[in-house]
Amino acid sequence: MFLLPASVLFLLFFALPIGYAVWLSFRKAHVSGLGLGAGARKEVWAGFGNYTEAFHDSELLHGALRVLGYGCIVVPVMLGLALLFALMLDTERVRLAPFTRLAIFLPYAIPGVVAALMWGFLYLPDVSPFYYVLDKLNLPQPNLLDGGPLYLAISNIAVWGGTGFNMIVIYTSLRSIPAEVYEAAKLDGATPLQIALKIKIPMVAPSLVLTFFFSIIATLQVFNEPTTLKPLTNSLNTSWSPLMKVYQDAFHRGDIYSAAAEATLIALATLVLSFAFLRAANSRNKQEEAR
């Protein structure tokens, strides 16, 4: 009975929409004649036709490749900074630790659209204070909203907003390590760097796996940042990421059936990558325990 309210909400707002999207992915619209009049447009069975079209859609494939490059920047940088900040906050000589934790975590509390808008205007040469300073110092003014730097610009927004959350997860795991472990290491002559590398990082490995898992999912579902920056540059098209392609097909082209198939494929890709990563992590943990 205690689980009933949560189960009902899960069924209505999670399971049923997913099931309906999968059902739509096997349907298509059939138009008779000019498409005018009652019954001229009806929904019919399409089989795997929508999935076949999605696999052969070059825009969807290019969007997936762009997201892959984006993830290669975001995931290692964000998790590396989160681990570094967590280790620094866990040292004995740290000052203003509560304020520092809040300052690092605060960007995560800012909505993604607001963060993308803020950084977007900071990237614009005409309104950005950074470009004003560079101009006064006679330094080069790179265009961050065009070409290769665009990946760095979008990645910077994700890193700025997500590092704090991952840092809190890792830091909480560090604080749960018994103090006796550190005392024993110090008695053996271990330096703070050795303690961090040989004790802290291995013992928070489960938290690192968890944050990596969340980061992979967030990377595959990137949507807010490129969509918000799109009006500011011509280098971002409407299908820059797979989810943007889904949105374009569903709400601009009006083809919800193809969009449902694409969304299902993205969900399956996320599931497969997550399962493979967790399986590899669990296998490695079992091997270490066996040793």
Helices (H) and strands (E) counted in the chain, each on its own, are 15, 2
Confidence of residue 157 (pLDDT cuts 50, 70, 90): very high
**Residue in 272, 247, 263, 242 with CA at minimum distance from that of residue 50:** 263
Whether residue 291 has pLDDT greater than 90: no
User: Encoding tokens for residue 185?
Assistant: 């290491």
pLDDT at 288: 67
**Residue in 181, 191, 196, 167 with CA at minimum distance from that of residue 97:** 167
Strands 41-45 and 27-31 come out as antiparallel
Residue with tokens 């929508």: 50
The percent helix, strand, coil of the chain (3-state, each to 5) is: 75, 5, 25
Contact status, residue 30 vs residue 44, Cβ threshold 8 Å:
yes
pLDDT digits (tens, 9 = 90+) for 249-285: 999 988 999 999 999 999 998 888 888 887 887 777 7
Report the topology of domain 58-290.
Answer: MetI-like fold (1.10.3720)
Q: For residue 76, what is the enclosing H or E element?
A: helix 58-89
pLDDT at 75: 94
Residue 148, SS3 per DSSP: coil
What does the CA dihedral 45, 24, 65, 239 come to, rounded to 10 degrees?
110
Beta strands in the chain (DSSP E): 27-31, 41-45
Instruction: Kindly report the backbone phi and psi dihedral angles of residue 238, in degrees, each rounded to the nearest multiple of 5, phi listed first.
Output: -75, -10
Q: For residue 224, what is the enclosing H or E element?
A: helix 224-229
Confidence of residue 168 (pLDDT cuts 50, 70, 90): very high
Provide the CA 129 distance to its chain's centre, in angstroms: 28
Q: Which amino acid is at 103?
A: A
Q: What is the mean pLDDT of residues 144-164?
A: 91
Q: Which amino acid is at 218?
A: A
Provide the mean pLDDT of the chain. Answer: 89
CATH 1.10.3720.10 maps onto the chain at 58-290
pLDDT digits (tens, 9 = 90+) for 54-75: 999 999 999 999 999 999 999 9
**Residue in 160, 170, 269 with CA at minimum distance from that of residue 220:** 269
Contact status, residue 54 vs residue 262, Cβ threshold 8 Å:
yes
